[in-house]
Every structure is written in C-alpha cells, then in structure tokens.
Amino acid sequence: MIPLSHYLLLSAFLFSCGVLGVVVRRNAIIVFMCIEMMLNAVNLSLVAFGQFLGDATGQMLVFFVMVVAAAEAAVGLAIIISLFRNKQTVNIDEINILKW
Amino acid sequence: MEFFSPTDLLGSSPILALGIFSLIALMANALLKNSARVVFFISVAGILAAIGCAVSIFPMNATAFSDMLLVGGYASFFSVLFLVIALFSMFIAKPYLEREQFHYGEYYVLIMLATIGMVMLGSSADLITAFLGIEMMSVSFYVLAGYFRGKLSSNESALKYFLLGAFATGFLLYGIALIYGTTGTTNLLRIVTMYPQAFNDPLHIIGWGLILIGFGFKVAAVPFHMWVPDVYEGAPTPVTAFMSTGGKAAAFSVFVITFSVPMSMRDERLIMILAVLSAASMLLGNWFGLSQTNLKRMLAYSSIAHAGYMIIGIASASSIGQQGIAFYLVSYALTNLGAFGIITMLEKENGGNLNYEDYAGLGKRKPGLAALLAMFMFSLTGIPPFAGFIGKYYLFASAVQSHLTWLAILGVITSLFSTYYYLRIIVYMYFREATNHEEIILPKLTFVTVILCGAGIVLFGIFPSLIFDLMKSIF
C-alpha cells in the first residue's frame, strides 16, 4: 500500500505549484486555474487523510469543497467576462485604475 | 433514526428564515416587473424575522446538528449584530442605488445570502461550517463588489477581491485539512480535548498557521491587507459599508471561536505571532491612512488599523479581551455604517465628491450632517464619550492584563497618529470655506439610519454596561 506521506507530499507539491502560479502568472484566467489547483491539492490530502483515518468526514468535506469551487468558478468567470467587456484585457498588470 | 431534533431546527432558525425569505425575494424578483421595491420590503421582512428568531433563542446554550452549530448566547449575539448591519446597509443602499439608477432586486438578495454566511460563521462550532460560512459570505461579496457591472472600477475591485479571496480560501482549506488529518476531527469542541497530544505534531502547527493566513486575509490584517484599499475604493459605497462592517465582524467572530482552541495552551510563540500581526496592522494601517486624500480609501486603511486593535483581544486570550472584541465590533459597525452612510449621501456620480476638499464648509451648509460625521470620526479615534473609546479601553486593558503592555502602548501611540487623518476631515468641515455651492439633497431613509447609528454610539459609549451585561452570560 502507498504510505500516507506520499499522498501528502504530492498534495503539498501541487499546492505549491498553485501558489507559485498565482504569484507568477499575469493572466487572470490562468491565475484562477492555479487557485483551482490549490483547492484540488487540498482535496487530495483530505481524501488521503480520510482513507487512512478510516473516517468519512474527509471525503464528505471534499464534496463541500467541490461545490464551493463550482460556485467560485461561476462567479469568478462572470467577473472576468464583465471586466473583459469594459476593458478588452484579462492581464492583471493592465488592470490598474485603482493603485495596488 | 431521526434526522432533525427540535434543537437543530430552533438553532438554525435565523439561517432558515433568511434562506426562505431570500428564495421568496428571488422568485418575486424574477416574476414581477419593477420588483426592486417589493424585493426590498421582502428582504427587510426576512431580516426582521431572522432577528426575532435569533433573539428568541438567545437563552439557549446548546449545539445543533451534532455539534456543527452553536445555538444561543455567543451565536445569537453575533447573529443579531450581523442582521442589524445588513438591515442598516440596505437602508443606506436603497436611496443610493435609486439615485444611480441601478436599483435592482438582486442587490438585496445578495445581501441576505451574505448574511446567511455571516450567521453561519458566528455560530460555527466546526471547521466545516466555518469554511462554508466564509465562502457563502465571500462569494456574495465578490458579486456585490462588481455590482456596477458597467463601471471599470467596480469590475476591477471585484476581480482583485475575487482572486485574492479565493487564494486565501486555498490556505484556509489546507489548514483545515492538516488539522483534520492530525486530530481525526474537524469539530472545534473535540479538537480542544485532542489538542495537547496533537500539539507535538508539526503538521498540526502548520495547519493552524495556514488557518491564521486565511483569517488574516478575511479580517484584513497586515501583511494580508493588499486587497483592502482597492476593493473598498472600487466597490459601490453601500457595498463597502456592508463589507467593512459585516464582513469584518463575521470574520472576527469565527476568528475568536477558532483560535480559542490553540490559545487555550497559552503558547508563547502563537501569542507573539498574533501580537506582531496586530502591531504591524496598527502601524501600517495608520501610517498609510495619513497620506490618503480619498475618504473611502482612508476608511479602508483605518479598517486595517482597527483589525490590528481587535487582534490584541485575541492575542491576550482572556475573556476580557473577547468581550472587548465583541464590544469593539458593535461600536465599529455602527460608526462605520454611519460614516459610509454620510459618504453615500454626499457622493456624486462616477465617484465624485469623495475627497477631503469636497467636504470643505460642510459645517455651515449642513450643520447636522457635519456634527454627525464629526461624532463618527471622534468615535473612530477613540475619544470619550463615544463607544469607540470604551472598546479601545477594554482591548488595551486586556493586553496589559496578559503582560503585553508594549502592545497596549503601541496601540495608544498609533491611535494618536490616527487622530491626524480622522480630525483632518473635521478641520475641513468647520474651518475651510465651501468651494461648491450645489444643493445637497439628503435622502430621508439614509439620514434616519445615520442618526440611529449616531444614537447607538452615544448610547453604548455612555452606558457600555448595556452590552457588557449581555456578554457576561456569553463568555
């Protein structure tokens, strides 16, 4: 059987990739995809913990996370579209009428 | 097997009432023409019903849904606070949106949905409900921030809020996953008993650190504050009023419940981390507040600074600190709603009339309004007899009691800084000549709300025992 630490390391790696992507990439949609990757990395560790603890809470929480991620995707893409209609760009460096 | 016990239904009655009324409002909005007014009244009715439910379950002291939700006491106190904030921010919003000709029913429905999230946060006894509450509140806020969909500033504020908020959610969730993995439960009441053993596991400590990052974003503490000024400036003003009061109060209510678990160990390192967060927020918030010219942006930095003051209460880990936070949240909510209410009344289309200069001579043109705004600024500074003073007093006292005297001294010094930018607006109102002489029209609904806020801060400033007596039974 694959030990728990392997799952956790993979999950930590995916999470770090997501964080790095959010910090480095400038395209709003790619930043958003990286955030989704962070959430799914967490899902992986939740499922692994649930399996190893023999407890269903972890698996159940994953469903909540998936629902929340879907809601966030709907709202987030709508926001990006309404911004694109007004400005014709999704590059977050060009979105700067409010000073950062 | 029974699915719901009476406690479950009673305990979640404020959430259920809000949920039912928001669905009715949504249907009315879809079926009727020109429905914004109808939706407004349905929403007000829903919030009043929820306040009734929350008040009636106040004496209960139980948990519902197998320890997922707290019922009564603490939960009721904060539920009523969030509901009153939501009600006032609707009153502020209606005349503003009518004037901007962007008055749609969805606005009120979103406010109610965000309030459901807040009520869930204030009553969460489990990390799962805390997560769901935060998300429910934040997703509604993202939409509300982008409510003026034709305005670039509103779009931009929504995008920044959304990206950084979702980013913070990732950290919060990872923290929850690690705590779940090391203790085998997400329930805060059970983690407390597990805590001493789990404490030796580094993964567990990392988990709390990640949760702290997530909450740091939501309460706008330095160094997780980057989104605050932009989002507050770009969002429609009534939305900013709602976010800065309701969002902050909800985030703090869950911050207090959650961190009472690791703080029960009185670990020096964690106290130090929280103290540094608080000190950094007070210093940077007030420092950047000094150089602002836009009032919404100034209040955003002030909101960061106030987050710093309130974290003192968590770092001190005493019941007096927690009471101080609860009182501070009440006074901050009333003060900020009042100040933003006045800003919405004076704002012109496309974000005009938001600078200090635009308030020149207000003392002569609208003496009542100027006096109210001056009161709110005094309360934010923390000058007696207003409620802000009592809140600060309790927080600083809790710091001294917990041997964090340096934090209390820093708090007093930074409050002193803040007088400059709070009182500057009073100087402009009373000691400068007016530059524009356009007629100012005051919408009655907003004006009455602002007067209620003003009355509240004077009342709670002079009789703080009204709230502290309530809180003795809670903490």
Chunked mean pLDDT (size 10), chain B, 475 residues:
78 94 95 91 97 92 88 92 97 93 93 96 94 96 94 93 95 96 91 80 92 95 92 94 96 94 84 94 94 93 96 91 94 96 88 85 90 95 92 94 93 93 93 82 93 95 90 79
The half-sphere exposure of B3 on its side-chain side, counting CA atoms within 13 A, is: 0
Q: Mutate which of B128, B148, B155 to test chain A, going by most A C-beta atoms within 10 A?
A: B155
Extents of the domains making up chain B: 266-475
Classify residue B431 by burial, with Cβ atoms within 10 Å: 0-12, 13-18, 19+: exposed
Q: Which two tokens stand for residue B110?
A: 């979103």
Asked if the bond preceding A3 is cis, omega within 30° of 0, the reply is no
Domain containing A34 equals 4-87
Is pLDDT of A100 > 60?
no
Q: What is the pLDDT of residue B475?
A: 73
Q: How far is CA B123 from CA A60, B37, B65, B128, B161, in A?
A: 20, 31, 12, 12, 25
Q: Which two tokens stand for residue B333?
A: 């909510």
Is pLDDT of A94 > 90?
no
- Tracing tokens 């901050």 back to the chain, one arrives at B332
CA gap B198, A43 in Å, rounded = 22
In a domain, A93, yes or no: no
Q: Which residue numbers of B have CB closer than 8 Å to A's CBs? A: 128, 131-132, 135, 139, 142-143, 146, 149-153, 155-160, 162-163, 166-167, 169-170, 173-174, 176-178, 180-181, 184-186, 203, 226, 229-230, 233-234
Write the CATH number for A70: 1.10.287.3510
In a domain, A45, yes or no: yes
Cβ contacts of B401 within 8 Å, gap of 6 or more: B316, B318, B320
One-character DSSP codes across B236-271: -HHHHHHIIIIIHHHHHHHHHHHHHHHHTTT-HHHH
In a domain, A59, yes or no: yes
CA gap B270, B317 in Å, rounded = 11
Q: What is the pLDDT of residue B302?
A: 95
Q: What is the pLDDT of residue B352?
A: 78
Q: Which two tokens stand for residue B182?
A: 């090391």
CA of B225 to nearest chain A CA: how many angstroms apart? Answer: 11
How many CB atoms are closer than 10 A to CB B197?
Answer: 11
Q: Are B282 and B414 within 8 A, CB to CB?
A: yes
Q: What is the pLDDT of residue B36?
A: 92
Phi, psi of B65 (to 5 degrees): 50, 60
Q: What is the pLDDT of residue B262?
A: 86
| Partners of residue B207 in chain A, C-beta under 8 Å | none
In a domain, A42, yes or no: yes
Chain B nearest-CA residue for A94: B156
CA gap A60, B128 in Å, rounded = 10
pLDDT, mean of residues A74-94: 91
B344-362 burial, b for 16+ CB within 10 Å, e for fewer? bbbbeeebebbbbebbbbb
Helices B319-346 and B248-263: angle between axes, nearest 10 degrees:
170
Q: What is the pLDDT of residue A99?
A: 65
Whether A71 and chain B come into contact, CB under 8 Å, resolves to yes
CA gap A84, B185 in Å, rounded = 43
One-character DSSP codes across B77-110: HHHHHHHHHHHHHHHHHHHHHHHTT---THHHHH
In a domain, A96, yes or no: no
Q: What is the pLDDT of residue B2?
A: 65
Q: What is the pLDDT of residue B399?
A: 94
Instruction: Using CB atoms, pick whichever of A19, A35, A83 lies closest to residue B156.
Output: A83
| Partners of residue B185 in chain A, C-beta under 8 Å | 57
- The domain tally of chain A equals 1
Confidence bin at A95 (pLDDT 50/70/90): confident
Chain B nearest-CA residue for A77: B159
